[in-house]
Amino acid sequence: MAVIAGVVKESAPGERRVAMVPGALSVFNKTGAQIVMEAGAGEASGFLDSEYSEKGVKLVKSRGDVFAQADVILQVRSLGANPETGASDLSLMRKGQTVIGFGEPLTAGAAAKSLAERGATFLAMELMPRITRAQSMDALSSMATIAGYKAVLIAADSLPRMFPMLMTAAGTVAPARVLIIGAGVAGLQAIATSRRLGAVVSGYDIRDVVKEQIESLGARFVVLDIEAAGAQDKGGYAKAMGEDFYRKQQEALGKVLADQNVVITTAAVPGRKAPILITRAMVERMMPGSVIVDIAAERGGNCELTKAGEVVEEKGVRIYGPVNLPSTIPYHASQMYAKNIATFLKYLINKEGNLTLNREDEIVRETMVTHGSDVVHPKVRELLGLPELQAV
């Protein structure tokens, strides 16, 4: 029997993305999978119901109808990533149903426990392993690309200067100086976007291995005279460092920040509070009119003064703490996310058209948070204080 995948309208406040777009449906062509969708689910992203129906999607009037008919629910923000309204979906779920989406499992353990109690299998997109065969399913990287791009636009709009150097009849306009802290996907996209706008760009990361990537985009790699051995984990993410390291880093970065017009911070550690890289004292040394855009605001922020969802001004420096940046560019964010989640679901469907969850497979094992009415992910179990599961 063909797998039925359901798509519902995102219920998280301010969320404009949708988990599936018409252009990504071709991924399912050879699987036999059918799609049932809540009417109007794609409108906030710029995708009309008629575009879905033309592709064979079955449109239903209510959210409850989708949950009742679907074997798999595809979402952008599932319960853990939607603390405000996500719990209302629990009563719609049935035992054995699979949910795929973002769910913040490394911080929202209680939400994972609630999903387990409903008997739902939850696969978290943010836990997708960074391995070659999962690259096309890496939704975190897709959304980080959007965030890095939009952060630069926020800075350019707020800065009382233009980014590029201009030769005019009124004289020469000097280019803006931009520093990107953190050279992950978001940081590299921010570097590329800043360069395209004509700024003089520098990039800093505690991982020396990204020096070549920063320089390949035309930016200068900032070297601080501090030891950062073991700064990268096996998945390619930055690791949390000790307090002594961050204190030395702040001292060295303070001198660099004083010469910048724009600073964009992107440093985050999965499942942990973002490290404080910029203190109040460092901000006070910056030139009035400078701008800081803290992409890590949702994780507590890389700047001591950051307030998530707000703009703070300190000594003439504006600090932006934007949240959910991908949702501000919903068309392309949805397009990228839909391709990631569709490729993942296709991977889980076998040749007979059935959903298979082989827990010996690394992709399934690393993303599976709940299964069989239990929390099965080791890190989430540790977060909840649960004992290790015994091997079957």
Residue 130 a catalytic site member: yes
Q: Is 53 a catalytic residue?
A: no
Q: Is 249 a catalytic residue?
A: no
From the candidates 26, 69, 88, 135, which is the catalytic residue?
135
Measured on CA atoms in the order 178, 182, 186, 187, is the torsion positive or negative? Answer: positive
* Euclidean distance between CA atoms 132 and 138, whole angstroms: 10
Respond yes or no: is residue 237 known to be catalytic.
yes
* Amino acid at the residue 128: M
Alpha-carbon distances of 392 from 334, 359, 387, rounded to whole Å = 39, 11, 15
Quick one: tokens of 12?
A: 């998280």
Catalytic residue among 49, 63, 130, 361: 130
CA-closest candidate to residue 245, choices 220, 267, 212, 221: 267
Catalytic one of 71, 138, 205, 294: 138
| Cβ 225 vs Cβ 203: under 8 Å | no
Q: What is the C-alpha to C-alpha distance for residues 202 and 156, in angstroms, rounded to an integer?
A: 16
Q: Out of 11, 53, 136, 141, which one is annotated catalytic?
A: 141
Task: Name the catalytic one among 136, 195, 232, 237.
Answer: 237
Q: Is 161 a catalytic residue?
A: no
Q: What is the 3-state secondary structure (H, E, C) of the chain?
A: CCCEEEECCCCCCCCCCCCCCHHHHHHHCCCCCEEEEECCCCHHHCCCHHHHHCCCCEEECCHHHHHHHCCEEEEEECHHHCCCCHHHHHHHCCCCCEEEEECCCCCCHHHHHHHHHCCCEEEEHHHCCCCHHHHHHCHHHHHHHHHHHHHHHHHHHHCCCCCCCEEECCEEECCCEEEEECCCHHHHHHHHHHHHCCCEEEEECCCHHHHHHHHHCCCEECCCCCCCCCCECCCCCECCCCHHHHHHHHHHHHHHHCCCCEEEECCCCCCCCCCCCECHHHHHCCCCCCEEEEHHHHHCCCECCCCCCCEEEECCEEEECCCCHHHHCHHHHHHHHHHHHHHHHHHHECCCCCECCCCCCHHHHHHEEEECCEECCHHHHHHCCCCCCCCC
Residues involved in catalysis: 130, 135, 138, 141, 237
